[in-house]
């Protein structure tokens, strides 16, 4: 089951869904809610599952001429900001480390309310446009084909003045590797020539591309399920269909806000956005619409599979009932004959006939055989 709160799932074609998620007792949930209600706005408390042992920072500086990457275990006091013509990308992993996140927020002047949303892994996807910053909260979905698992984690992005991009994730991921590779190898390319808004687009485009890739896997799973239903519906358990339909619906809810985010970025006219990047955010919006449409199609296909399965099971039950009804009808006249000759009357003409018993058996066979032939002719059997 794909959920908004650090859910873990698995969905690859031809394999059943495997889901693991945190289990909360009613008491623990009640206590947690009371504690959150008592907190003031902007309180820096991590709300979610700890998904990595320690926090990790990845700092990238680049411009058209050069690019450098540095990693840190703790937030450094120096070498964070680049020059005026340099784009700075700081990626922070490990949202459980509130102290490190607070240091980052203090260094870059990030509002406590934004830091609170970054730490709250169950918060909804959204975008906040300000003159001094653009804040995006969404879900990063990656897939591990080797382990047949889908990983969903809370992801936040901040675009700041000074060509600064801050990103925050719950656990390490290789999803950013293609973007980092482009920065390092694409000398003179757009990503090296353009400003930080283009980097923000590249990161969000990567997020949407992962959505589309996971949807392809879900689509293959739907096709595989459809083939199984067409071959032999009895080999499919109803629980598999409900799990597939549930996961598609929840993935739809997870992806749906990306259209609002992409649309807001496309229309943004703040000083953080440059004209060079405008066509790319239009393209991001198109991809977001494509993702929403694909999830709509998947939902319809998932519902169709369930309806087809229920229809096939209903037809199969009708066939069974028809066969049972036909055989019951065949034995009905035989029961009638036996009932007549089972009466305890002393003077019954056929009781004294020498061939009475064989005659009754002949009547049984003729009656049953005739009805069976008639039902087969009418294609009821």
The listed CATH number (1.10.260, 1.20.58, 3.30.1890, 3.40.470) that belongs to domain 322-377:
1.20.58
Q: In this structure, are residues 121 and 154 in contact, taking their beta carbons and an 8 Å threshold?
A: yes
Q: Which residue has the tokens 């199984």?
A: 228
Neighbours of 378 (CB within 10 A): 9
Q: What does each C-alpha distance from 215 to 36, 128, 152, 358 come to in angstroms?
A: 35, 27, 14, 71
Q: In this structure, are residues 200 and 161 in contact, taking their beta carbons and an 8 Å threshold?
A: no
Separation of alpha carbons 185 and 162, rounded Å: 23
**Integer-rounded Cα radius of gyration of the chain:** 33
Reported as a single tens digit per residue, the pLDDT across 11-59 is 444 343 343 333 223 333 333 444 455 566 767 888 888 888 888 999 9
pTM of the model: 0.74
What would the two tokens of residue 278 be?
A: 């405008």
Q: In this structure, are residues 141 and 152 in contact, taking their beta carbons and an 8 Å threshold?
A: yes
pLDDT string in tens for the chain (381-residue length)? 444 433 434 444 434 334 333 322 333 333 344 445 556 676 788 888 888 888 899 999 998 888 888 888 887 766 677 677 889 999 999 998 889 899 898 888 898 899 999 998 888 889 998 878 899 999 998 877 666 777 889 999 999 988 899 999 998 888 889 999 999 888 878 888 898 999 999 999 999 999 988 888 888 888 887 777 777 777 777 777 777 888 888 888 888 899 999 999 888 888 888 888 889 999 999 999 998 888 888 888 777 777 777 777 777 787 778 788 888 888 888 888 888 777 777 777 777 777 778 888 888 888 888 888 887 887 777
What would the two tokens of residue 343 be?
A: 């009466």
Local structure of 167: helix, strand or coil:
strand
Question: Angle, nearest 10°, between helix axes 238-255 and 278-341?
Answer: 160
Q: What ranges do the domains of the chain cover?
A: 8-20+45-311, 322-377
Q: In this structure, are residues 3 and 250 in contact, taking their beta carbons and an 8 Å threshold?
A: yes
DSSP assignment of 239-260: HHHHHHHHHHHHHHHHHTHHHH
Q: Give phi and psi for 13, each to the nearest 5.
A: -60, 145
CB within 8 A of 302, min separation 6: which ones?
Answer: 222, 241, 244, 245, 248, 249
Q: In this structure, are residues 79 and 195 in contact, taking their beta carbons and an 8 Å threshold?
A: no
Separation of alpha carbons 260 and 288, rounded Å: 9
The class that CATH gives domain 8-20+45-311 is alpha beta
Separation of alpha carbons 360 and 356, rounded Å: 6
Reported as a single tens digit per residue, the pLDDT across 99-112 is 989 989 888 889 88
What would the two tokens of residue 223 be?
A: 């096709």
Local structure of 215: helix, strand or coil:
helix
């Amino acid at each position: 089951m794909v959920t908004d709160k650090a859910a873990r799932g698995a969905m690859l074609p031809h394999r059943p869904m495997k889901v693991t998620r945190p289990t909360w007792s009613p008491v623990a949930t009640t206590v947690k809610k009371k504690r959150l209600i008592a907190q003031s706005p902007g309180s820096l408390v991590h709300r979610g599952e700890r998904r990595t042992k320690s926090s990790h920072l990845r700092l990238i500086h680049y411009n058209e001429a050069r690019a450098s990457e540095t990693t840190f275990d703790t937030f450094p006091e120096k070498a964070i900001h680049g020059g005026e013509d340099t784009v700075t990308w700081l990626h922070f992993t490990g949202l459980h480390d509130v102290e490190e996140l607070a240091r980052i927020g203090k260094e870059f002047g990030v509002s406590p309310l934004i830091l609170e949303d970054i730490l709250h892994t169950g918060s909804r996807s959204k975008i906040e446009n300000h003159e001094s910053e653009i804040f995006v909260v969404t879900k990063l979905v990656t897939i591990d084909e080797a382990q047949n698992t889908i990983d969903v984690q809370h992801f936040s992005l901040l675009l700041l003045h000074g060509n600064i991009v801050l990103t925050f994730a719950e656990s390490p991921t290789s999803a950013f590797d293609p973007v980092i590779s482009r920065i390092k190898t694409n000398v003179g390319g757009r990503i090296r020539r353009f400003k930080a808004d283009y980097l923000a687009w590249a990161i969000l485009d990567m997020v949407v591309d992962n959505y589309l890739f996971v949807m392809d896997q879900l689509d293959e799973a739907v096709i595989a399920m459809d083939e199984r239903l067409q071959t032999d519906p009895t080999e499919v358990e109803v629980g598999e269909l409900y799990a597939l339909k549930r996961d598609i619906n929840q993935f739809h809810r997870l992806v749906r806000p990306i259209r609002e985010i992409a649309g807001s970025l496309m229309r943004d006219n703040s000083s953080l956005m440059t004209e060079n990047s405008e066509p790319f955010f239009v393209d991001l919006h198109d991809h977001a619409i494509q993702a929403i449409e694909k999830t709509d199609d998947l939902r319809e296909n998932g519902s169709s599979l369930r309806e087809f399965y229920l229809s096939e099971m209903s037809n199969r039950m009708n066939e069974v009932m028809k066969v049972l009804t036909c055989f019951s009808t065949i034995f009905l006249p035989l029961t009638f004959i036996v009932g007549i000759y089972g009466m305890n009357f002393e003077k019954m003409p056929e009781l004294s006939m020498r061939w009475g018993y064989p005659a009754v058996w002949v009547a049984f066979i003729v009656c049953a055989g005739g009805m069976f032939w008639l039902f087969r002719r009418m294609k009821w059997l």
